Every structure is written in structure tokens, then in C-alpha cells.
């Protein structure tokens, strides 16, 4: 067995970062282990401030007990090791599996130089929405370069990935139209659907047969309505992927459009960084593709790609987060362009290889320790922790031992299927990944023991 798996918790390889020890795990106020943010969504009462206060009291109890791992602040660059400050001011340092920096490009010299040059030329600003005068020449170049990677001629930039997802659905779908959407699709896509129409049909996760039944039913009832089918390349909580060819064929057969969100796979997976669409041999064949620059492209921002100029220009004016929000700043555009150049170069291939090596080491380290890892190899590695109380304690234990990773709990995932969503980057070494797996298993064991006392 690999000796890193046997290393004691006090001395894991944290790449030089020191963990900050905190209190023991078995004296937690029970309120901090109960309930969820969902409990505060439908409270009656005329006082809006009181509703916020009820949530805040519950969250503060969790903060006091060290089991509210949200709202953290990063102390420096999002590297393989990092330091985070929690809401209560406690610091946590160690191996960083909580940043969305999949190809480790945030401090690449070429990326920094591109950002500096844009800053010199344009200053730091965003001068308006893309519907007015917010674009610069480089925005057009970025749209063309992304279009070349995706083999889709028309690309529209958005100020964030969330805005792209919401804006694409809301911008295309009218009140009388229908949206058929995977139940686990990202919040921006569900929110976009809710804002657009009441005709929303959730389908079981990845279940293309269910999509087919829904398409048939909608078409039988309504031959005239538009239908948008919405999926992701890699699902952000389960790290799994749909059969894109089947979904596209189904959409086409029923006069619907398919849109795929590639936030977590474009650039960091697939041939030339083409993501799951490339891996599945579907480049240039999906109706609509949207994505984000905040995972692999070291920036903020998002895009929607299509095959017709009409859809691009329609969205420019009917996707409100584009029309009524300022464009990506020139510095962000330059950053994304520099990342894209690297992604499409041999260096990008080398970074994807390193990333996949670390992913494989992490996944096998976790399964060797008897843990359940969801999905397929991707930069997202979700590890099941179990019920929410156990997961909260385990997450605290791991933070104290020097592992930084995000806890995802109900209602972001179903009740008592809380998980650690580990996010891997090219700069993680396989040894660091194995140490992280060891820290997860150990933290979970200690949390479990403290709950049984
Ligand atoms: C699948 C998916 N789509 C869209 C988004 C939104 O992207 P951004 O954070 O860049 O706004 C995210 C980010 O969390 C995501 O996971």
C-alpha cells in the first residue's frame, strides 16, 4: 500500500502550509447540526427583516460551532495549497481542493502579461453592455476563437456564467414554450426556466428515455410550442455526463433545441480542451452551448454559442443579463483569450494530462479507503459523506487537519446525501491527491466517532 495512505493525521504532506488547530469535535450545540437553509425559504410573516434574522441566527450558531464552512476568504492565489479565513475569523490552511482553477492558469506568466497589457491599453473598467458600447476589439476576437474551439460560428459573451445560463433560457423561451431540464442542472438554468415559463418539465437525472417521453407528450399536446432541452456536459454535483448524441437526436426529432452547459469541462477535458462535447464526438453538432470562464479560464464571465447569427443577436437584446448588465471588462477578455491560447497549445494538453493524473490519484485514494466517489473522472470529485450532521462535523475535522474542500448539503443536493465537492487542479501532485484522500477518510472517521459518543 502507498505509504502516504498510512501517514498520521498530524503530519500529512501539506506542501509547506500549516494547518490551524481548533476545538475538539464532540461538544457541538445540537442546533448547529440540524436544519437547512431550505427551512427559511417559506416562513410566513410581514416582517422581511425578521425572516432574514431567523436565518442569520441559525447560521451564526453554526459559525460559532465551526460547522458553517461557507463565505470563506482566500488569503492569496488559489494554488494547490492555500489559506482560507472562515466567517468567525479562524484560519484554515492546507491542501486546497476548494478552488475552481482546473488548469492552474491564474498565475501563468502569459496570462498575467495579457491582463497587464489590456489594463495599460484600456484601463480597468467595463464601459457598457454588449448591446451598447461595452465590447472592445478583443471581445470580437475572443468570440471568434471560442467559436473555433467549439466549431460553432456565433458566440455571445456574458458578464458571468450564471448570467449566460439564465439569459440564454430566459432570452429564448417565451411564456407559451416549454423547457425540459435535468433535475440536477445548475441553478442558473432552472432560474432561467422559472423566469421564462410555467411549462417546465424536470426529467430524472441523465435519463434520456424520460426526456423522450416528455418530448412526445409535449408535442402531442402542443404542436406549435417551442421546446428547449437543457443539459450539462459534466454535472457539478455528481460529476457525470449525459449521452449528448442521444439528447441531440431526440431534440431534433421533436422540433426542439438542445442547450448544453459546459462550465466544468470546456478547456480542461477532451481533445484540444473541447470538453465532453469533443470527447463524445459531438463538436459542432449541439444546437446551443453555454459556459463559464470562472473554472478553467482564470476569470469571470460566460458565453452562449450557437449556429446562427439570428440567435446571437436575438440574445443580445432579449437576454436581460446581457442587455442590462455591463460587458466583460477588457482585462477579463484578455485573460480568457490568453487562457484559451494555452488551452489549445501543447502546454494545454500537458496541463490536462497532469490534471487527470491528480484526479485519478484522488479517486483511487478515496475508493481504497472505502469511500463512495460519484461520477466519472473530471475535475469535480464528489465524495459522499452521509447525513448532514455527520457531514458538517466531518468537514470541520478535515479543515482542522489541513484539507480545504467545499461541503455541499441539502437543499443543493438531496436530503442526507451531503458530500464533499473536491475540485482538482493541474498543479496538484498525485501525492497531494492521495494525502487529501487520506485526510477525508480520517476526518469522516473522527466525526463519526464523535457523533457516537
Ligand atoms: C454548471 C454551472 N453552470 C453555470 C455556473 C455559473 O458560472 P459562474 O460562476 O461563472 O457565474 C456554474 C458555477 O458555479 C456551474 O457550476
Kindly state if the Cβ of 236 falls inside 6 Å of ligand 1. yes
Nearest residue by C-alpha to atom 9 in ligand 1: 161
Domains parsed from the chain with CATH numbers:
3-20+28-41+57-102+348-452 (3.90.1150.10), 109-344 (3.40.640.10)
Q: Is the dihedral of CA 132, 137, 138, 141 positive or negative?
A: positive
d(CA 324, CA 232): 26
Pairing of strands 91-97, 81-85: antiparallel
Q: Is the peptide bond before 411 cis (omega within 30 degrees of 0)?
A: yes
| Ligand 1 neighbour 162 (Cβ under 6 A) | yes
pLDDT in tens, 379-407: 999 999 999 999 999 999 999 999 999 99
Given a cut of 50, whether residue 20 has pLDDT beyond it is no
At 26 the pLDDT is 55
Q: Which of 182, 236, 238, 321 to mutate to test the pocket of ligand 1 (most atoms within 8 A of CB)?
A: 236
More confident residue, 2 or 102: 102
176 pLDDT more than 70 = yes
Q: Residue 341 corresponds to which cell in the numbers above?
A: 491560447
The secondary structure of residue 329, as a DSSP letter, is P
CB 150 within 8 A of CB 344: no
Pair 286, 252: CB distance under 8 Å: no
Beta carbon of 188 within 6 Å of any ligand 1 atom? yes
| Ligand 1 pocket, mutate which of 188, 242, 325 (most atoms under 8 A from CB) | 188
Q: From the CB of 417, is ligand 1 less than 6 Å away?
A: no
Please, where are the H alpha helices in 19-68? 48-64
DSSP state letter for 370: T
- The lowest-confidence range among 208-217, 314-323, 361-370 is 314-323
Using DSSP, state whether 289 is helix, strand or coil: strand
Q: Which pLDDT value is given to residue 415?
A: 87
Q: If you count them, how many residues does the chain have?
A: 453
Label residue 265 by pLDDT band (50, 70, 90). Answer: very high
Question: Which of 183, 184, 262, 294 to mutate for ligand 1's pocket (most ligand atoms within 8 Å of CB)?
Answer: 294
Residue 42 pLDDT: 86
Instruction: Assign 23 a pLDDT band (cuts: 50, 70, 90).
Output: very low
> CA-to-CA distance for 5 and 386, rounded, in angstroms?
22
* pLDDT of res. 441: 97
Is the Cβ atom of 388 under 6 angstroms away from ligand 1?
A: no
CB atoms inside a 10 Å sphere around CB 186: 24
**Ligand 1 atom nearest residue 293's Cα:** 10
User: Is pLDDT larger for residue 30 or for residue 27?
Assistant: 30
pLDDT (mean) for 143-164: 98
Q: Is residue 144 pLDDT above 80, yes or no? A: yes
CA of residue 159 to ligand 1 center, whole Å: 12
Asked if 383 and 433 touch (Cβ cutoff 8 Å), the reply is no
* Residue 325, pLDDT score: 94
| Confidence at residue 416, expressed as pLDDT on a 0 to 100 scale | 86
Which range (43-47, 280-284, 440-444) has the least confidence? 43-47
Q: How confident is the model at residue 96, as a pLDDT? A: 97
Rounded CA gap, 283 and 306, in Å? 12
> CA torsion, points 394, 399, 403, 408, in degrees to nearest 10?
50
Rounded mean pLDDT of 346-371? 98
**Strand locations in 185-272, DSSP E?**
200-203, 227-232, 257-261
Amino acid at each position: 500500500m502507498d505509504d502516504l495512505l498510512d501517514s498520521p493525521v498530524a503530519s500529512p504532506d501539506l506542501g509547506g502550509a500549516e494547518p490551524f488547530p481548533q476545538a475538539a469535535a464532540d461538544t457541538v450545540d445540537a442546533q448547529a447540526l440540524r436544519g437547512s437553509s431550505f427551512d427559511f425559504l417559506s416562513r410566513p410573516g410581514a416582517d422581511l427583516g425578521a425572516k432574514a434574522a431567523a436565518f442569520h441566527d441559525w447560521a451564526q450558531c453554526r459559525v460559532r460551532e465551526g460547522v458553517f464552512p461557507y463565505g470563506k476568504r482566500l488569503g492569496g492565489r488559489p494554488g494547490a495549497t492555500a489559506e482560507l479565513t472562515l466567517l468567525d475569523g479562524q484560519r484554515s490552511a492546507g491542501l486546497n481542493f476548494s478552488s475552481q482553477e482546473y488548469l492552474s492558469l491564474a498565475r501563468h506568466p502569459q496570462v498575467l502579461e495579457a491582463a497587464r497589457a489590456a489594463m495599460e491599453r484600456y484601463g480597468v473598467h467595463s464601459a457598457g453592455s454588449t448591446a451598447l458600447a461595452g465590447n472592445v476589439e478583443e471581445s470580437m476576437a475572443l468570440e471568434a476563437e471560442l467559436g473555433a474551439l467549439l466549431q460553432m460560428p456565433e458566440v455571445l459573451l456574458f458578464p458571468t456564467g450564471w448570467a449566460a445560463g439564465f439569459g440564454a433560457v430566459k432570452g429564448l423561451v417565451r411564456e407559451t414554450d416549454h423547457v425540459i431540464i435535468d433535475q440536477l442542472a445548475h441553478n442558473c438554468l432552472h432560474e432561467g426556466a422559472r423566469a421564462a415559463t410555467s411549462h417546465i418539465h424536470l426529467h430524472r437525472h441523465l435519463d434520456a428515455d424520460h426526456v423522450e417521453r416528455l418530448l412526445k407528450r409535449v408535442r402531442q399536446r402542443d404542436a406549435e410550442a417551442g421546446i428547449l432541452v437543457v443539459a450539462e456536459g459534466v454535472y457539478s454535483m455528481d460529476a457525470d455526463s449525459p449521452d449528448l448524441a442521444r439528447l441531440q437526436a431526440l431534440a431534433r426529432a421533436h422540433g426542439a433545441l438542445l442547450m448544453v452547459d459546459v462550465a466544468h469541462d470546456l478547456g480542461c477535458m477532451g481533445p484540444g480542451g473541447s470538453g465532453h462535447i469533443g470527447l463524445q464526438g459531438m463538436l459542432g453538432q449541439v444546437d446551443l452551448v453555454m459556459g463559464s470562464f470562472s473554472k478553467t479560464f482564470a476569470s469571470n464571465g460566460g458565453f452562449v454559442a450557437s449556429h446562427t447569427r439570428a440567435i446571437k443577436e436575438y440574445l443580445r437584446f432579449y437576454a436581460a443579463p446581457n442587455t442590462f448588465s455591463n460587458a466583460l471588462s477588457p482585462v477579463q477578455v484578455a485573460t480568457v483569450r490568453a487562457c484559451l491560447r494555452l488551452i489549445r497549445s501543447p502546454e494545454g494538453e500537458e496541463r490536462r494530462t497532469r490534471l487527470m493524473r491528480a484526479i485519478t490519484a484522488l479517486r483511487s485514494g478515496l475508493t481504497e479507503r472505502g469511500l463512495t466517489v460519484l461520477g466519472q473522472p473530471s475535475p469535480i470529485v464528489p465524495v459522499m459523506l452521509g447525513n448532514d450532521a455527520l457531514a458538517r462535523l466531518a468537514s470541520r475535522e478535515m479543515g482542522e487537519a489541513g484539507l480545504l474542500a467545499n461541503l455541499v448539503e441539502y437543499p443543493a443536493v438531496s436530503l442526507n446525501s451531503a458530500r464533499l465537492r473536491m475540485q482538482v487542479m493541474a498543479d496538484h501532485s498525485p501525492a497531494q491527491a492521495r494525502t487529501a484522500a487520506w485526510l477525508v477518510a480520517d476526518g469522516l472517521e473522527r466525526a463519526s466517532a464523535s457523533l457516537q459518543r
